């Protein structure tokens, strides 16, 4: 009994173990399933066409739509985790914040280091892309090397694949890089070609870019799965396989143009299907018809080489197979086809109509009338699309128009929907045109255009340029006539009626015959003339409707007689009732904001006899609302005997996008220049401040006077170097203080040759050619000598210690304006030329445009500041002249300075005597300076010299102080200060109180004196900041001594103290 109990307990235990083994995995499986029902999280960052915003602001793009398809196939909800940038998206993926990211290149996932790659969802190829107009000019071996942009996350591949000498620049997304390439901010773009060129196509600028050289790396696009979600790999791969088989994935790639670039072949393959009356394929394989003739005509006009190839209509209805052909002629340009093909401008209309038997013609005029009836349509056709859009139709699907005709004749359908021209041709062939008719109003009218595969942007633009002229040609008119035929007036009922009338009477027969013959001739002539007029009108109307430019015609009184759709859109007047005067709300402005070309109201009459416009660029603004456009205006005046209705035609070309691109390029260039300039200034000033600050801090700890003096001298030298740097920058900005005098450049050259040997080696020879009777020039002598020294030093460095330096002067007359090296104009007149030539290595052609930019230098680090040539250019332009440079690598460089000639006589040289600096002897000085630190330093310097100083922070405060106590001996004032009274205003106000008061002015640069000028500036003493102690005290001494000598004068003679 006990044994049986033991056996029973063992049995129960075994059953329990078996139950646990069966139940626990089931629970685990249920738990696992529960974990899998949560939403999938996909990454997203704006990078068209992979990830972008849709028309309504939704998250869109190839990767986003592919994520939705995968979630649908896996029957899982989907959430997006958007990122502000590519780098942020990569970080989220690495952190596991997203499960996968779709459509990305597989290279980052190689080896599974950052994630798991699915099977391929598309091809990818890394290569360089260049502007089409620059492809012959760019070379990877040029000096300096070209700049290449790349997507920031692809830096490792870019540095590994590209030649090491290239200059690399990172961007966040392909569209940013292509915009930079368009703006010439970079020379080349390194990225996946399918994404970059696909985005360019959708932006309408694909013809502006081409691949450069051979591809660097072939890759595929995949779904990147985070390493923590390996269980998703199998289901996602199966879903991708299903999407490929169903064609949805291929359609998605085509929609976003993620296809590898296939360049235009030398001979384009044109696919021709048997589709009468547009295209015929004869029994012998010959190809003819309207579409064939049109594409051949356009090929001859554009110089394109084409080859016709037969394709079946069944293949065409299945879809566009661009692997078999490059071009399809006159395909209906429908919205659903834009994702599958590129289209030219429209050439003809392709309409679809309802056909029914005679007894139902009036009954079925629209699709709504067919509700509840059987309607025949072709499976793969536009007619089916519109028939299915109308609810309530009972559709019967067939594969050809021949089957549609059989359905209608057998009474199996009440009506059919198909292409109008082709079906009318088929009815005429079987003599059923009188029994089956088309409804009066077509179901749909599509614009027939030439369809091209993607990647043929340059071919599209060539065709677009030729199509408008072709539509107006007699050649096209003949093709249309062959397609549509001549309309016949004498139909069968009319002939029977005429014969019956003739039988009534012989006399009536004779009279009627004559009348009918005359009437027939008149009618045929009238019909021919009417048909010709209508044909020309239709062609003009087609061109006007297709034209992107706005075209406006004015009548003799200045009213708008016609305006094409583009013009109405630009004017914001789609409902304009003609004729009418120009809308007063639409105005034109030039770049300065001044209103030009007033056409409003009756003032439009002023425009009719006016001069013709030749593409003037203006801004067009609509006061009533709408965006401001940049347009080019062109006009043509029509003689009165040629047109009694239209007197002037005005063409408005919308160039807003081009202007925005140009402004963006200019803005980018300015930012680069400003960055280089500020970086250079900051670098040099930081070095100077480091020297100054270091020496001043050491003075605090120094104990010996000799050491203190040495440290102070070093700080002063650094400060003076900072002043020199400021003067150089002011010279470049043309704001430096100049003291022009009449000088002879021959003498300057002779004096220069006397000391030039100190800076040149004996292996450098110096030659000079000086013109006799050289005209005099008016220029600052010190700046002239400094500019000459700069150019000689540059020549010396370029020759590496061996060569020939040549100095030359000459008189020259400039009769027409010409551009200098800084793109500024030099007015006609007499000039003196000073040229400096060397036989050095020359300047590279791509560096010539930048050599005058501050801090730009081609010398090695530490051998040049990059300020010399910018200072020379600024000085010459401020002096009314310019600099021109010519260089040839390996031959040398010539800089030519042009000085305006002067009629003034050269003054005899006088020895300049340095004025003695006397002590202040208790003179009282009124100091007006708004900068507190400068004010304290100036006051201390003057007080140490024995002067008594009253320092104030503004001109207003100085005037109050002087009015209360007018016993001051001198006014020292800054020119620009806060308050009502500037420096010159203060001086005039105090001179009104005391006419003999000496005044010394201080300024930061020359423009302050120009902007705040007065008569006193021409006769007072001037100091330019920063001011050294010796110059400050010399100015005080000179001003007070002048008052002592000429106390009776009301104003003092002009004196200037230079640093």
% of the chain exceeding 70 in pLDDT: 72
pLDDT digits (tens, 9 = 90+) for 688-716: 676 676 777 778 777 777 778 777 877 77
Q: Contact at 8 Å (CB) between 240 and 223?
A: yes
The pairing of strands 100-105 and 209-225 is: antiparallel
Token couple for 511: 């009279």
Q: How confident is the model at residue 278 (pLDDT cuts 50, 70, 90)?
A: confident
Three-state DSSP class for residue 118: coil
Residue 25, token pair as written in the block: 């995995």
Closest C-alpha to 981, from 1012, 998, 1005, 956: 956
pLDDT(912) > 50 = no
Checking if the pLDDT of 117 tops 70, the result is yes
**Which token pair is 352?**
């679809």
Structure-token pair, residue 933? 């630190």
Which H or E run contains 586? strand 586-589
DSSP state of 47: B
Asked if 524 and 486 count as a contact pair (C-beta separation under 8 A), the reply is no
- Structural tokens at position 213: 């050289």
Taking residue 841's Cβ as centre, other Cβ atoms within 10 Å add up to 18
Q: What is the pLDDT of residue 963?
A: 92
- Ranges of H-type helices in 337-430: 382-389, 401-410, 420-429
SS3 for 199? helix
Question: If pLDDT is split at 50, 70 and 90, which confidence band does 677 have?
Answer: low
Here the tokens at position 347 are 């050439």
Take residue 449 and report the two structure tokens written for it. Answer: 């255009």
pLDDT at site 594 = 65
- Whole-number Å distance between alpha carbons of 927 and 958: 8
CA distances from 273 to 317, 318, 428 (A): 10, 13, 20
- What is the structure's pLDDT at 98? 92
How many degrees, rounded to 5, is the angle at CA 777 between CA 773 and CA 782? 120
The pTM for the full model equals 0.40
Who wins on pLDDT, 488 or 825? 825
774 with 747: CB under 8 angstroms?
A: no
Q: Is the pLDDT of residue 663 over 80?
A: no
What pLDDT is attached to residue 607? 45
Q: Return d(Cα 46, Cα 988) in angstroms, integer.
A: 63
Q: What is the pLDDT of residues 498-535, one digit of tens each?
A: 555 555 555 555 555 555 556 556 556 655 665 665 55
Band of residue 964 on the pLDDT scale cut at 50, 70, 90:
very high
List the single range of 644-648, 657-661, 757-761, 1014-1018 with lowest mean pLDDT: 1014-1018
Nearest to 86 by CA among 201, 195, 208, 234: 195
Cα(953)–Cα(126) distance, rounded to whole angstroms?
64
Q: Burial of 69 by CB count in 10 Å (0-12 exposed, 13-18 middle, 19+ buried)? A: buried
pLDDT value for 242: 94
Helix, strand, coil share of the chain (percent; to 5): 45, 25, 35
Q: Which of residues 908 and 832 earns the better pLDDT score?
A: 832
**Cα gap 146→362, rounded to integer Å:** 71
Please, what is the average pLDDT of the chain?
76
pLDDT digits (tens, 9 = 90+) for 48-98: 778 888 777 788 888 899 999 999 999 999 999 998 877 788 888 888 899
How far is C-alpha 582 from the geometric centre of its chain's CA atoms? 32
Q: What is d(CA 967, CA 608) in angstroms, rounded to the nearest whole number?
A: 73
Q: Which of 43-57, 337-351, 769-783 shows the lowest mean pLDDT across its residues?
A: 337-351
Burial 180-214 (b: 16+ CB within 10 A, else e): bbbbebbbbbbbbbbbbbbbbbbeebbbbbbbbee
Split at pLDDT 50, 70, 90, the class of 592 is low
Residue 107: CB atoms within 10 A of its CB come to: 16
Can you give the three-state secondary structure of 715-778, one letter per residue?
Answer: HHHHHHHHHHHHHHHHHHCCCCCCCEEEECHHHHHHHHHHHHHHCCCCCEEEEEECCCCCCCEE
Nearest to 344 by CA among 453, 258, 195, 198: 453
Task: Flag the least confident range among 5-19, 388-402, 765-779.
Answer: 5-19
What is the arithmetic mean of pLDDT over 612-630? 72
pLDDT in tens, 720-742: 766 666 665 555 454 456 678 89
């Amino acid at each position: 009994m006990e044994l049986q109990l033991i056996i029973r307990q063992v049995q129960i235990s075994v059953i329990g173990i078996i139950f646990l083994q069966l139940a626990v995995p089931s629970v685990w499986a249920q738990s696992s399933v529960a974990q899998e029902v949560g939403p999938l999280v996909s990454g997203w960052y704006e990078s068209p066409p992979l990830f972008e915003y849709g028309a309504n602001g939704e998250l869109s793009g190839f990767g986003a739509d592919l994520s939705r398809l995968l979630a649908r196939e896996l029957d899982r909800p989907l959430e997006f985790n958007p990122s502000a940038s590519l780098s942020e998206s990569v970080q989220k993926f690495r952190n596991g914040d997203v499960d996968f990211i779709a459509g990305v290149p597989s290279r980052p996932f190689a080896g599974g280091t950052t994630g798991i790659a699915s099977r391929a969802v598309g091809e990818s190829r890394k290569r360089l892309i260049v502007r089409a107009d620059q492809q012959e000019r760019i070379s990877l071996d040029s000096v300096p090397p070209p700049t290449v942009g790349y997507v920031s996350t692809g830096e490792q591949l870019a540095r590994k694949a590209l030649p090491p000498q290239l200059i690399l620049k990172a961007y966040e997304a392909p569209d940013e890089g292509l915009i930079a390439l368009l703006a010439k901010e970079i020379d080349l773009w390194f990225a996946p070609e399918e994404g970059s060129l696909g985005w360019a196509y959708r932006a309408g600028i694909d013809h502006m870019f081409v691949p450069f050289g051979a591809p660097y790396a072939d890759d595929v696009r995949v779904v990147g799965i985070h390493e923590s979600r390996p269980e998703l790999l199998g289901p996602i791969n199966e879903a991708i396989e299903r999407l490929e088989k169903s064609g949805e994935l291929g359609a998605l790639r085509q929609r976003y143009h993620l296809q590898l670039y296939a360049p235009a072949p030398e001979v384009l393959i044109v696919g021709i299907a048997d589709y009468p009356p547009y295209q015929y394929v004869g029994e012998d394989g010959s190809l003819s018809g309207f579409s064939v003739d049109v594409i051949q005509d356009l090929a001859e006009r554009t110089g394109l080489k084409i080859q016709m190839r037969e394709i079946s209509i069944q293949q065409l209805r299945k879809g566009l197979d661009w692997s078999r052909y490059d071009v399809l002629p006159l395909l209906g340009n429908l919205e659903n086809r834009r994702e599958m093909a590129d289209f030219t401008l429209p050439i003809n209309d392709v309409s679809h109509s309802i056909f029914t038997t005679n007894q139902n013609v009036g009954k079925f005029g629209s699709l709504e009338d067919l509700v509840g009836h059987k309607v025949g349509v072709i499976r793969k056709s536009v007619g089916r699309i519109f028939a299915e859009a109308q609810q309530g139709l009972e559709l019967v699907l067939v594969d050809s128009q021949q089957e549609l005709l059989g359905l209608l004749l057998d009474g199996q359908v009440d009506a059919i929907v198909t292409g109008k021209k082709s079906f009318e041709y088929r009815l005429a062939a079987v003599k059923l045109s009188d029994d089956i008719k088309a409804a009066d109003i077509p179901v749909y009218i599509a614009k027939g255009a030439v369809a091209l595969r993607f990647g043929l942007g340059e071919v599209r633009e060539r065709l677009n340029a030729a199509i408008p002229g072709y539509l107006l040609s007699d050649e096209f008119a003949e093709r249309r006539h062959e397609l549509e035929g001549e309309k016949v007036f004498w139909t069968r009922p009319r002939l029977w009626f005429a014969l019956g009338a003739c039988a009534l009477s012989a006399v009536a027969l004779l009279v009627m015959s004559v009348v009918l013959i005359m009437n027939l001739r008149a009618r045929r002539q009238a019909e021919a003339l009417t048909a010709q007029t209508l044909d020309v009108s239709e062609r003009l109307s087609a061109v006007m409707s297709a034209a992107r430019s706005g075209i406006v015609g004015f009548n003799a009184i200045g009213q708008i007689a016609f305006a094409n759709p583009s013009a109405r859109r630009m004017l914001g007047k789609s409902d304009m009732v003609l004729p009418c005067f120009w809308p007063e709300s639409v105005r034109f402005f030039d770049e300065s904001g001044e209103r030009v070309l007033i056409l409003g109201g009756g003032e439009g009459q002023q425009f009719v006899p006016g001069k013709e416009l030749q593409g003037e660029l203006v801004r067009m603004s609509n006061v009533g609302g709408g965006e401001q456009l940049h347009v080019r205006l062109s006009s043509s005046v029509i003689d009165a005997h040629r047109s009694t209705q239209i007197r002037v035609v005005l063409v408005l070309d919308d160039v807003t996008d081009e202007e925005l691109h140009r402004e963006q390029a200019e803005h980018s260039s300015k930012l680069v220049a400003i960055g280089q300039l500020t970086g250079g200034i900051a670098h040099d000033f930081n070095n100077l401040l480091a020297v100054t600050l270091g020496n001043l801090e050491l003075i605090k700890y120094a104990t010996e006077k000799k050491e203190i003096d040495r440290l102070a001298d070093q700080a002063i030298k650094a400060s003076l170097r900072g002043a020199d740097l400021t003067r150089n920058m002011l010279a470049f900005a043309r704001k430096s203080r100049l003291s022009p005098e009449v000088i002879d450049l021959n003498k300057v050259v002779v004096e220069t040759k006397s000391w030039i040997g100190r800076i040149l080696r004996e292996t450098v020879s110096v030659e000079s050619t000086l013109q006799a009777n050289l005209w005099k020039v008016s220029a600052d002598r010190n700046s002239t000598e400094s500019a000459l020294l700069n150019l000689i030093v540059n020549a010396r460095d370029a020759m590496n210690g061996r060569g020939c330096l040549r100095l030359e002067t000459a008189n020259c007359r400039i009769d027409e304006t010409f551009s200098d090296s800084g793109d500024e104009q030099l007015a006609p007149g007499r000039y003196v030329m000073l040229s400096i030539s060397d036989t050095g290595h020359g300047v590279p052609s791509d560096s010539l445009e930048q050599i005058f930019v501050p801090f730009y230098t081609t010398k090695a680090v530490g051998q040049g500041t990059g300020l010399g040539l910018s200072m020379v250019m600024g000085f010459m332009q401020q002096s009314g002249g310019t600099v021109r440079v010519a260089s040839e690598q390996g031959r040398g460089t010539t800089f030519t300075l042009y000085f305006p000639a002067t009629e003034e006589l050269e003054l005899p040289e006088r020895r300049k005597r340095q004025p003695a600096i006397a002590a202040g002897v208790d003179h009282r000085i009124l100091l007006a300076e708004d900068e507190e630190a400068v004010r304290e330093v100036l006051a201390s310097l003057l007080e140490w010299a024995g002067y008594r100083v009253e320092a104030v922070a503004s001109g207003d405060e100085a005037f109050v102080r002087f009015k209360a106590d007018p016993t001051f001996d001198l006014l020292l004032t800054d020119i620009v200060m806060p308050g009502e009274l500037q420096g010159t205003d203060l001086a005039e106000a105090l001179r009104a109180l005391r006419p003999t008061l000496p005044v010394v002015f201080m300024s930061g640069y020359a423009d302050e004196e120009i902007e705040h000028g007065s008569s006193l500036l021409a006769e007072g003493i001037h100091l330019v900041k920063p001011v050294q102690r010796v110059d400050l005290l010399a100015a005080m001494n000179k001003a007070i001594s002048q008052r002592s000598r000429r106390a009776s004068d009301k104003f003092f003679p002009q004196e200037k103290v230079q640093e």
